[in-house]
Structure 1
Amino acid sequence: MLQTVKVPTKDLGKGMFVSNLDRPWLGTPFLTQGFLIRTDDDIERVREFCEYVWVDVHKCVYVSEALARRAQGDRPRKTMREIFHGRDIARYADEVTWKDEHPRAGKALDTLLDDITDLFQSVAEKGKVDTMRLRKSADPIVGSISRNPDACLWLGRLKQHDEYSYQHSLSTAIWAVSLGRQIGLHKRDLRSLAIGAVLMDVGKLLVDPELLQADRELTEEETREMRHHVAHGVHLVKKSGIINQDVVDIVAFHHERHNGSGYPRGLAGEQIPPFARIAAIVDTYDAITSRRSYAEAMSPAEAIKFLYSQRDKLFQAELVEAFIQAIGIYPPGSIVELTSGEVGIVIAESRTRRLLPKIILVLDRGKKEYAQPQIVDLQEAQVASNGGAVSISRSLEDGAYGIDIGRYQFS
């Protein structure tokens, strides 16, 4: 994949990072180290001086499908119908606002989390999954995300800051169903994604807890034992009477990687079942955005950039791009600084203008906490001010300015 792509200035878009010009930097008003295009005015200024520029794909916060194709050397793109072998593919539309969906999403998540806790305890004691209960508790999540995914995405990010034993299972279910919705999979397939995501690490119940909690590099033997959780999981799932092949595939192959570097079989590309390819992306995203004993959590925006950099390396490009479309350039829970100097937390994306999400404003331009945080829709603010309103200047690391996103819950 190319690092930089030559782009005519007529094709420039917001979110692209310009790394070089078609003329010397000296004599232009631009910074010599490159710059991110944030506004329409930025685009017009570049067009005044240049006919074309070079765009650094890895530093972009948004990459159009056309630019992605050029970075890949115009590799033929697969449709979702081709990837999922002719399954029903539809287009979902938001049926309700994120705020109206919020209470139903909260109830659905709390129920699923309680059920996951009970289910895993039952597996540890009896060696079987209560499949009927899991199916019943997965349906409300599928329903909520189908209506409007924003509420579940925000609440799922909040719960990453709580101390729950099986938080990873809940979060990956949210990300997986959201990606499945973006792809356009049927609700029965979204249910399979939810159940598979909940169960993909169930085999860890049979792994030595000391290995799971180790904050050191594992030995080769310990690594083999840890990786054996996949086989344990497949055994438990089949023993529980689960015959849904998509669920079994998720449990069996979610650690396989597009370039063949994964385990247990070292499968590559289309050898990996498509539902397992989804699971690999959401499993990685949740892991790198969560606090772990051996690594700091990435911010959601940093994690998105990492996934993007691994397109057609660790993960299939089309599915990574669909995941970014599903959760946004600035995913829920991202701490962002605005061009005004104010700081906010992203709570929901804009479907049409992904650089202008809905945020909670928490710090003023002097970085002092607002007594009463307010929700602002940056897209509506842009429309109201004819494009002159504030926009996002940059994404900040988790915990920036001492911000704990878990404090900002609302109904």
Structure 2
Amino acid sequence: MLETLKISTNDLRVGMFVSALDRSWLETPFIIQGFRIESRTQIDKLREYCNYVFVDTVQSRQPAESFKVNAGGKQKRMPLEHIFYDRNLEQYGDKSNFVDEKPRAEAALEALVGDVCDIFEQVGNGGKIDVIQLKKSVEPLIGSISRNPDACLWISRLKQHDEYSYQHALSSAIWAVSLGRELGFSRQDLRSLAMGGMLMDVGKLQIDSGLLKAERQLTNSESAQMQDHVNHGLTILQDSGIINHDVTSMVAYHHERYDGSGYPFGMKGDEIPPVARIAAIVDTYGAITSNRGYAAAISPSNAIRVLYEARNTDFQAELVEAFIRAIGVYPAGTLVELSSGEVAVVIAEYRTRRLRPKVLVLLDKNKQQLPKATLLDLQDVCLAGKQEAINIARSLEPGAYGIDLACLELENARISA
């Protein structure tokens, strides 16, 4: 059984497996989130940035007595197996690379966009959700993300739908399945997450469009009307014969918050079904990274910071950390400025190499557009004439330097497998 101990950095030993820090990984130079200590240098670096860390005793190569000095500081973190005690979790590995998976992901999302539009149009006209169509629609998406999430996450950032409700439904499904994959959900459970993600806000089809598009703060009465989309959504599911518990839980409780500050019931902690805690994270992430009438989109990496800062208040910490592992610190579609001065967009391997992914360079160091976007693997490159590696200096907000990712043609970039 997984057991995690809170250990002072003064008591660290080579062989211990560090699974979490006393601060965000983003505030440290550690590239891998979770690693086994192999040298004294790593211990010194941990002491430089942290007062204490969390050590996984199962993955550590240390005898049990090494941890006795910390018995008083023992602090259990919730193992995923406990959060999802009623599911058989499995481990996924990438079965294809970004280049090979891209055309399959593109086809899956293209078909899904059309089906989402059809489903929302049916419901908007007073009809029911075609459950069979919905299940068939999400299968190619689940297959692509199961093989390798990189391509699907990348394409979803590029192919932004004009209608926010459609885009949010698609994005929520993609984020939910990606997180479910990281957690080890079965294929059947991933299907439920996809359906729940797509239908979380279906009740907004019964809300006055003027409220949905309002570019001002809503009155208390209007906010109550807006919050009623949860009840509308549950009614639509019931009328359509959808009784899948995971799907109904995601629709019913995706606005509940871990500290009890959400709505409509003010549930907190374990009172909220685990899949609804997932729904809250992906719903928030999808919303704040999209342009809405009352708020501009923020960058994916800044959205990650927002989620991380809200761990154990709005969201369960273990699930936030799993979400970050699933999509990376600099998720696909993040515009970044490199230490070379060039501007690029993150495209692949942002999950396993969180600070040194592959990027597509769009602007030169003078911020002038390049004739052709060029692939750069930050794992392998250094500044010209120096031993210093090229790093991501900072993330940029969407639309920086006039870059429109929707107009970016990946096929014209110099990309090879």
Q: Tell me the equivalent position of 2:117.
A: 117
Q: Tell me the equivalent position of 1:107.
A: 107
Q: Tell me the equivalent position of 2:83.
A: 83
Q: Tell me the equivalent position of 1:358.
A: 358
- Give the alignment of 1:211-222 within 5 angstroms: 211-222=211-222
Q: Tell me the equivalent position of 2:401.
A: 401
Distance 2:260 2:201 in 1: 21
Q: Tell me the equivalent position of 2:153.
A: 153
Give the RMSD, CA atoms, in angstroms.
Answer: 3.3
- Give the alignment of 1:310-349 within 5 angstroms: 310-349=310-349
Distance 1:388 1:304 in 2: 27
Change (3 A) 1:244 1:17: closer
Q: Tell me the equivalent position of 1:194.
A: 194
Distance 1:113 1:56 in 2: 48
Q: Give me the TM-score of the superposition, normalised by structure 1.
A: 0.83
**Contact 1:329 1:354 survives alignment (8 Å):** yes
Which AA in structure 2 matches 1:309? E
Change (3 A) 1:50 1:286: closer
Distance 1:8 1:300 in 2: 35
Which AA in structure 1 matches 2:134? L
Change (3 A) 1:229 1:353: same
Which AA in structure 2 matches 1:236? I
**Contact 1:18 1:53 survives alignment (8 Å):** no
Q: Tell me the equivalent position of 1:23.
A: none
**Contact 1:342 1:364 survives alignment (8 Å):** yes
**TM superposition shift of 1:229:** 0.5
Matched residue SS, 1:360: strand
**TM superposition shift of 1:165:** 4.9
Distance 2:186 2:46 in 1: 45
Which AA in structure 1 matches 2:315? F
Distance 2:387 2:162 in 1: 38
**Contact 2:327 2:351 survives alignment (8 Å):** no
**Contact 1:84 1:274 survives alignment (8 Å):** yes
Is the counterpart of residue 209 in structure 1 residue 204 in structure 2? no
- Give the alignment of 1:8-407 within 5 angstroms: 37=29, 52-55=47-50, 75-160=75-160, 162-163=162-163, 165-381=165-381, 388-407=388-407
Greater Cα shift, 321-330 or 159-168: 159-168
Distance 1:77 1:354 in 2: 23
Distance 1:300 1:247 in 2: 26
Distance 2:161 2:118 in 1: 21
**TM superposition shift of 1:376:** 1.7
Change (3 A) 1:142 1:18: closer
Q: Tell me the equivalent position of 1:30.
A: none
**Contact 2:361 2:374 survives alignment (8 Å):** yes
Distance 1:50 1:251 in 2: 44
Q: Which runs of 5+ in 1 are unaligned?
A: 20-34, 58-63
Distance 1:380 1:394 in 2: 19
Q: Tell me the equivalent position of 2:63.
A: none
Which AA in structure 1 matches 2:324? I
**TM superposition shift of 1:159:** 2.3
Matched residue SS, 2:48: strand
**TM superposition shift of 1:7:** 5.2
Tell me the alpha carbon deviations over residues 54-73 of structure 1, each in whole angstroms, 9 at most, x when there is no partner.
5599xxxxxx8659xx9xx8
**Contact 2:329 2:350 survives alignment (8 Å):** no
Q: Give me the TM-score of the superposition, normalised by structure 2.
A: 0.82
**TM superposition shift of 1:158:** 1.2
Matched residue SS, 1:379: coil
**TM superposition shift of 1:179:** 0.3
Which AA in structure 2 matches 1:77? R
**TM superposition shift of 1:239:** 1.2
Change (3 A) 1:18 1:326: closer
Change (3 A) 1:308 1:66: farther
Distance 1:74 1:231 in 2: 43
Tell me the alpha carbon deviations over residues 10-45 of structure 1, each in whole angstroms, 9 at most, x when there is no partner.
89x9xx9999xxxxxxxxxxxxxxx96489xxxx9x
Tell me the alpha carbon deviations over residues 339-363 of structure 1, each in whole angstroms, 9 at most, x when there is no partner.
2111110012344321111110111
Distance 1:339 1:50 in 2: 22
Distance 1:65 1:146 in 2: 30
Greater Cα shift, 92-101 or 351-360: 351-360
Distance 1:18 1:267 in 2: 27
Question: How many residues are matched?
Answer: 375
**Contact 1:18 1:56 survives alignment (8 Å):** no
**Contact 1:9 1:53 survives alignment (8 Å):** no
Identity %: 51
Change (3 A) 1:141 1:386: farther
Greater Cα shift, 386-395 or 189-198: 386-395
Distance 2:248 2:362 in 1: 44
Distance 1:352 1:248 in 2: 33
Distance 2:78 2:46 in 1: 32
Greater Cα shift, 228-237 or 368-377: 368-377
Distance 2:333 2:50 in 1: 28
Tell me the alpha carbon deviations over residues 158-203 of structure 1, each in whole angstroms, 9 at most, x when there is no partner.
1237556511100110000000000010010000000011111111
